[in-house]
Amino acid sequence: MEGVLAGNPRAIGRAISALERDGGAPDLLAPLFAHTGRSRTLGITGPPGAGKSTLVQRLAQAYRRGGRRVGIIAVDPSSPYTGGAILGDRIRMSEIYTDPGVFIRSMATRGALGGLARATWDAADVLDAAGYDVVILETVGVGQGEVDIVKAAETVAVVLVPGLGDDIQAIKAGILEIADVFVVNKADREGASRAETELSMMLDLAPPSGWRPPIVRTVAPSASGVPEAVDAFARHAEHLRSGTEGERRAQRRARARLLAVLDERFRREVEAPSRAGGGLAAAVARVAARQEDPHAASARLFEEVVRGRERKTDS
């Protein structure tokens, strides 16, 4: 824990590996939690290949020039156990990879997606406690789980590319609704201004609120538009501070995190093979054989877990 607080990259890496395991590392996180709440979290999502990682690299460089330390967590659901995509990200981000003021980590999916969200937010806490001023989370916006992960960030940037009509996938996954800032990346390609117009028209239809997501055009490889993006994020942070929205988000984030931890905890309890009734495996067998319906089986498992707990506290 001292290593993490001192910002030692090896200690941070070890801590994140520990909490990536099923069930996490509650004892490790507990003493760090008092040191969190200082960093700013930025969620970056969008369709596959939109240029998120390139943009993250440029954003990191921009924050570094401002003297800020940057933690990057890339959630990589497509390569669960291999290092392929992780390595790809590392090569692409090579410029910032040697900078001690930048910490980059890929999270691999292990087990349930709920566990991944829990692990990602825990990792963000570790980086926060380690003194990183800006923590950037990158996920591909293709599934609800991935979207939920970035949704917990203070500011969410949705990265799109010209040819919005092709991004139906993104729209379906509900990522447009979570944007605090829109980034139209690959603005060097044809159709960037049309994409911006389409987005703007879509925003005109949305119910008015205190914040209209700005649209920023970028060309990530050359960092064109990146200062404008940084500026838009800063304005959003200011917006969060100025009213009740920041507090509302903090509550939403806390709720999502608590529920993720509870989910994981309960699942682990249920999966324990030592349960009196044989636990999950036995229930699965009964349901598969149609000896018990899934609702009744769940209710029984729930009872077993709760009673098992009570017995433990009694003795």
Ligand X SMILES: Nc1nc2c(ncn2[C@@H]2O[C@H](COP(=O)(O)OP(=O)(O)OP(=O)(O)O)[C@@H](O)[C@H]2O)c(=O)[nH]1
Considering the complex, what minimum distance in angstroms separates the CB of residue 54 from ligand X? 3
From residue 51 to residue 80, the character string flagging contacts with Mg ion as x (rule: CB under 5 A) and all else as - is -xx---------------------------
Cα distances from 223 to residues 44, 138, 265, 300, in angstroms, run 16, 18, 43, 57
Closer to Mg ion by CB, 52 or 186: give it. Answer: 52
Q: Which residues bind ligand X (CB under 6 A)?
A: 48-54, 92, 140, 185-186, 188-189, 219-221
Closer to ligand X by CB, 36 or 79: give it. Answer: 79
Closer to ligand X by CB, 126 or 220: give it. Answer: 220
Closer to Mg ion by CB, 79 or 298: give it. Answer: 79
Residue 186 contacts which entry, Mg ion, ligand X, none (Cβ below 5-8 A, type-dependent)? ligand X
Vertex 217 angle, CA 223 and 209, to 5°: 130
Cβ-closest position to Mg ion: 53
Considering the complex, what minimum distance in angstroms separates the CB of residue 147 from Mg ion? 15
Considering the complex, what minimum distance in angstroms separates the CB of residue 298 from Mg ion? 37
Closer to Mg ion by CB, 52 or 249: give it. Answer: 52
Considering the complex, what minimum distance in angstroms separates the CB of residue 149 from ligand X? 14
Contact 34/275 with Cβ under 8 angstroms? no
Considering the complex, what minimum distance in angstroms separates the CB of residue 194 from ligand X? 16
CA-closest candidate to residue 220, choices 91, 50, 54 = 54
Continuous segment of H or E residues that includes residue 43: strand 40-46
Cβ-closest position to ligand X: 51
Taking CB under 5 A as the binding criterion, the range among 45-53, 160-168, 235-243, 280-288 that sits at the site for Mg ion is 45-53
Cα–Cα distance measured from residue 311 to residue 291, given in angstroms and rounded to the nearest whole number: 28
Contact 102/266 with Cβ under 8 angstroms? no
Question: What's the token pair of residue 310?
Answer: 């009570």
Cα distances from 13 to residues 18, 19, 200, in angstroms, run 9, 10, 41
Vertex 117 angle, CA 30 and 170, to 5°: 155
Residues engaged in binding Mg ion (CB under 5 A) = 52-53
